[in-house]
């Protein structure tokens, strides 16, 4: 095993005695996003993953961005290695206890991305460790399906994407192309439409709306033309998306413009899911087959009286009555670990049946 | 008069002999945009500004961006001073020959912006020079009205804005707030909607469109998902707006999606003008009063078979039959000079009538 060239990341292993009470084998599950990266350490002990019992978690570590498109490959790898070491250290274990690692990282889109990370992981861990490298949406799906890669996940936070998987390994996505390319159901999309509505009302190009007063109050401005400066001073998508709760409040207060913006977002989000379900045939030939739809992200989880997530579900249910909506009870890093767990279980069952046969 | 602190901008004046053949008085007209800045030098000789005779122009100089929001105040002033000096130098004149300066610069939105530039101009030119400091849309209007500040101007290039003025000095604007705030009739808006349509078709969220093949061919890509990288590699509005001719070609070839995008842009552009006309009452109480509508910018001037400018005009004409569309024959810098010219003529007529009266 290598030592990280720029630091002493794995030095703690020399202080660990007896490997967490006698060789308990572990899985590392990692969810790496553009905002932060979470790694959890799960023991391989007998339990049945389901929605009533949380999977056991020994330790949890958090770090910053690990998307190589955002921070570059070197910084991304350093973050990933550090957060894994911290999770192991916190659980009183070393790399020799690790049985499997599942890394679900945003920015992993092509087999070449996967291969580069796999090669790098093999250099860090013992040779008998199993590795899984996936896009972070896979962890989100697995957090709702308890590790099973089947169904569709809809993520709607600052951005939005729909991802789907079939049991025979096919996958498809929709949206996730950013605001210029029309992700209008996202938090950014909702907020940008609200800002536009304020400018239109001010110009006399659109109806008056409660959004004007509420957004100006939120940002502590007195005139809509000041919004131009605010918007372009730092056009970060996440900063603009922070206005979503204001839009929801206005819709709840009966404002028609805000209500229409949310209804439009619901249509957009539902259409992403429908496109994925159709392409993969998740609904079966008659459209009635059962499949899980995992809902993740601030826009879907806000749990307000005007409930965007609930509306998206009822919009999709009209087309696909067999759809089973799931709001995950565990975080995506746990989903990543469960994905590896499922694989190990299946493999050991296969080994047993082969042993029975022989 | 001051000498510019960082250079020898006005040194050429020492070489000029006899002031362009005997004290010919001049007007400097300047159009300063985000892409470039143009200054022209116009002699004050008898002529009647109209659409059949171009105004006389002694010299023309071009420089880069002079929007203080983009390049900072120091760089903007240096650009403005240099381009004025070059125009004067080319016409064989010095600052003592200047009777009036009209600076129409993008980024001048508030009286404080105007005042700062006025103070700075007074420091450069002799004390008897008349100054006019305006937003660059004023020069665009004046280029169509031959210097008269009355009517509405619609500018649609990469961005879009509608500006209007009444004869009694009131003004109003609509749009011009950038793409996040919904300038969807702009070149950027048209191209972004086309890119969105390609992604939607690829996802299975929208109808198939000729835009896919045509845009991929234009950018030399083979798959729509490569557009994500292209779009965000450099999200400059102008770069994206270069796709407008492709959208027009697809609409001309009968593609419904491209056609709908252009129709939507027409509605948006017309609504900006209508909002300004309504707020200023340019159409009179019965809606039938005559007023000029000056049309400027690549989106309106493309002169294709699918003619966006023509469609905008017919859309506005339905509401305001007295609207007189004008496509300027001179450039905005000449419009700026004509604005100063008009003012000087009016003033001299007033002086004469006062002299007659006394």
* ipTM of the complex as predicted: 0.86
Q: Select the more confidently predicted residue: B116 or B109.
A: B116
Mean pLDDT on B269-297: 95
Mean pLDDT of B279-296: 94
How does pLDDT run across B304-330, given as a tens digit for each residue?
Answer: 999 999 999 999 999 999 999 999 999
Suggest the residue from A181, A202, A239 to mutate for an interface test with chain B (most B CBs closer than 10 A): A181
Q: In this complex, do A174 and B205 lie within 8 Å of one another by their Cβ atoms?
A: yes
**CB spacing of A177 vs B275 below 8 angstroms:** no
- By DSSP bridging, strand A291-296 and strand A151-156 are parallel
At residue A225, the pLDDT reads: 87
Q: Taking CA atoms, what residue in A is nearest to B162?
A: A203
Residue B51 has pLDDT above 70, yes or no: no
Taking CA atoms, A222 is separated from A212, A218, A231, A329, B176, in Å, by 10, 10, 15, 42, 19
pLDDT of B121 above 90: yes
Confidence band, pLDDT 50/70/90 cuts, at residue B54? confident
- Please name the residues in contact with A74: beta carbons below 8 A apart, sequence gap of 6 or more: none
C-alpha distance from A274 to closest chain B C-alpha (Å): 8
Contact A205 B180 (CB under 8 A): no
**Mean pLDDT over each residue of chain B, to the nearest integer:** 90
Q: Could A180 and B231 be called an inter-chain contact, meaning their C-beta atoms sit closer than 8 Å?
A: yes
Q: How far is B301 from chain A (nearest CA, A)?
A: 24
> Which residues of chain B does A199 touch, with a Cβ-Cβ cutoff of 8 Å?
177, 181-182
**How close does chain A come to B310, measured CA to CA in Å?**
21
Parallel, antiparallel or unpaired: strands B151-156 and B291-296: parallel
B195/A180 CB distance under 8 A:
yes
Predicted local distance difference test score (pLDDT) of residue A234: 81
Using a CB-CB distance cutoff of 8 angstroms, which residues of chain A are in contact with residue B181? 192, 195-196, 199, 227-228, 231
- Does residue B171 register a pLDDT over 70? yes
CB contact under 8 A, A181 and B203: no
Q: Which residues of B touch A181 (CB under 8 A)?
A: 192, 195-196, 199, 227-228, 231
Q: How much is the pLDDT for B251?
A: 98
Q: How many whole angstroms separate alpha carbon A202 and alpha carbon A279? A: 43
Mean of pLDDT values over B191-202: 97
Give the pLDDT confidence score for residue B18 in this predicted structure. 54
Question: What pLDDT, on the 0 to 100 scale, is given for residue A201?
Answer: 97
> Phi first, then psi: what are they for B183, rounded to 5°?
-80, 70
More reliable by pLDDT, B232 or B101: B101
Structure tokens at B348: 């001299």
- From the list B182, B228, B232, which residue is nearest A199 (CB)? B182
Give A192 to chain B, closest Cα distance, Å: 6
CB pair distance less than 8 Å for B177 and A279:
no
Residue with token string 């993520």: A155
Asked whether B176 and B161 are in contact (CB, 8 A), the reply is yes
Is the CB of B177 less than 8 angstroms away from the CB of A199? yes
Confidence of residue B222 (pLDDT cuts 50, 70, 90): very high
Place of tokens 């999770």: A87
Distance CA B262, CA B247 (A): 8
* Residue A64 CB contacts under 8 Å (≥ 6 apart), including other chains: A36, A37, A71, A79
- Which chain A residues are closer than 8 Å to B232 by Cβ? 178, 180
Q: First vs last Cα of chain A: how many Å apart?
A: 36
Give the separation between CA A27 and CA A98, rounded to whole angstroms. 6
* Chain-chain contact of B228 with A272 (C-beta, under 8 angstroms): no
State which residue of chain B sits closest to A174, comparing Cα positions. Answer: B203
Give the whole-angstrom CA distance, residue B100 versus residue B125. Answer: 10
User: Contact A42/A91 with Cβ under 8 angstroms?
Assistant: no
Read off the pLDDT of each residue in B202-208 and give the average, rounded to a whole number.
Answer: 96
Count CB atoms within 10 A of the CB of residue A288.
Answer: 11
CA angle (B162 as vertex; B160, B167 as ends), nearest 5: 155
- Per the CB < 8 Å rule, is B196 touching A182? yes
Ramachandran assignment for B19, one of left (phi > 0), alpha (psi -120 to 50 degrees), beta (any other): left
Cβ-defined contact of A180 to B240 (cutoff 8 Å): yes
Q: Is the pLDDT of residue B135 over 80?
A: yes
> pLDDT above 90 covers what percent of chain B?
69
Query: Under an 8 A CB cutoff, do B275 and A203 touch?
Result: yes
Q: How far apart are CA A102 and CA A39, in angstroms?
A: 10
* Contacting residues of B for A195, CB less than 8 Å apart: 180-182
Nearest CB partner across the interface for B204, out of A180, A227, A279: A279
Minimal Cα–Cα distance from A75 to chain B, Å? 20
Q: State which residue of chain A sits closest to B199, comparing Cα positions.
A: A181
Q: B278: which chain A residues are within 8 Å (Cβ-Cβ)?
A: 204
What integer pLDDT is reported at residue A7 of this predicted model?
58
C-alpha pair distances (Å), B25 with each of B47, B60, B149, B247, B305: 14, 16, 23, 48, 45
B228/A178 CB distance under 8 A: yes
| Cβ <8 Å between A181 and B228 | yes
| A vs B: CB pairs below 8 A | 87
Looking at the predicted structure, is the pLDDT value of residue B236 above 70? yes
Chain B residues whose C-beta is within 8 A of a chain A C-beta are 173-175, 177-178, 180-182, 192-193, 195-196, 199-200, 203-205, 227-228, 231-232, 235, 240, 271-272, 274-276, 278-279
The answer to whether the CB atoms of A232 and B180 lie below 8 A apart is yes
C-alpha span between A130 and A127 (Å, rounded): 8
pLDDT of residue A35: 77
Q: How far is A68 from chain B (nearest CA, A)?
A: 14
Shortest CA distance from B177: residue in chain A:
A228
Q: Which residues in chain B have their CB less than 8 angstroms from residue A276's CB?
A: 204
Mutate to test the interface with B, among A200, A235, A236, A257 (most CBs of B within 10 A): A200
- CA of B190: which chain A residue's CA is closest? A180
d(CA A220, CA B68): 25
Q: Mean pLDDT over all residues of chain A?
A: 90
Mean pLDDT, rounded, for B230-249: 90
**Short-list A154, A349, A165, CA closest to A265:** A154
Distance from CA of A113 to the nearest CA of B (A): 15
Q: Could you tell me which chain A residue has the CA closest to the CA of B198?
A: A181
More confident residue, B72 or A119: A119
Name the residue in chain B with its Cα closest to that of A229. Answer: B177
User: In angstroms, rounded to a whole number, what is the distance separating the alpha carbons of residues A116 and B91?
Assistant: 64
Nearest in space to B28 (alpha carbons), one of B20, B44, B13, B40:
B40
At A275 the pLDDT is 97
pLDDT of residue A358: 54
Residue B226 has pLDDT above 70, yes or no: yes
Check if the beta carbon of residue B149 is closer than 8 Å to that of residue B178. Answer: no
Q: Quick check: B205 and A279 CB within 8 A?
A: no
Asked if A159 and A182 count as a contact pair (C-beta separation under 8 A), the reply is no
User: Alpha-carbon distance A29 to A43, whole Å?
Assistant: 11
* Structural domains of chain B ordered from first start: 23-134+330-357 (3.30.420.40), 187-326 (3.30.420.40)
What tokens were used for A42? 């799960």
Residues of A in contact with B196 (CB under 8 A): 180-182
The pLDDT value recorded for residue B3 is 52
Listed as ranges, residues in chain A with pLDDT below 50 are none
Residue A193: which residues within 8 A CB-CB, separation 6 or more? A184, A261, A264, A265, B182
Closest Cβ–Cβ partner in A181, A195, A203 for B175:
A203
């Amino acid at each position: 095993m290598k030592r990280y060239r720029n630091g002493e990341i794995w030095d703690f292993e020399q202080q660990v005695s007896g490997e967490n009470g006698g060789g308990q084998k572990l899985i590392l599950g990692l969810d790496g996003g553009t905002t932060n990266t979470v790694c959890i350490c799960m023991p391989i002990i007998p339990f049945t993953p389901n929605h009533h019992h949380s999977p056991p978690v020994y330790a949890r570590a958090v770090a910053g961005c690990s998307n190589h498109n955002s921070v570059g490959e070197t910084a991304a790898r350093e973050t990933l290695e550090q957060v894994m070491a911290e999770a192991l250290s916190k659980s009183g274990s070393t790399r020799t206890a690790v049985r499997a690692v599942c890394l679900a990282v945003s920015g992993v889109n092509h087999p070449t991305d996967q291969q580069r990370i796999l090669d790098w992981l093999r250099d860090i861990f013992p040779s008998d460790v199993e590795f899984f490298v996936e896009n972070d949406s896979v962890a989100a799906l697995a957090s709702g399906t308890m590790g099973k890669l089947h169904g569709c996940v809809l993520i709607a936070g600052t951005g939005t994407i729909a991802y789907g998987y079939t049991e025979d390994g096919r996958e498809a996505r929709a949206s996730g192309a950013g605001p210029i390319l029309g992700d209008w159901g996202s938090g950014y999309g909702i907020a940008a439409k609200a800002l536009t509505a304020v400018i239109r009302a001010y110009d006399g190009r659109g109806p008056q709306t409660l959004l004007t007063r509420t957004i100006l109050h939120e940002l502590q401005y007195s005139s809509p033309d000041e919004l131009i400066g605010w918007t372009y001073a730092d056009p970060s998508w996440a900063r603009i998306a922070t206005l979503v709760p204001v839009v929801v409040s206005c819709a709840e207060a009966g404002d028609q413009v805000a209500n229409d913006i949310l209804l439009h977002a619901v249509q957009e989000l539902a259409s992403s899911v429908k496109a994925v379900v159709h392409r993969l045939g998740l609904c079966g030939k008659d459209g009635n087959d059962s499949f899980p739809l995992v809902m993740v992200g601030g826009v879907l989880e806000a749990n307000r009286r005007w409930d965007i997530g609930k509306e998206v579900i009822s919009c999709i249910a009209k087309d696909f009555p067999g759809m089973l909506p799931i709001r995950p009870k565990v975080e995506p890093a746990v989903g990543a670990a469960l994905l590896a767990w499922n694989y190990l279980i299946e493999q050991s069952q296969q080994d047993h049946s082969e042993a029975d046969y022989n």
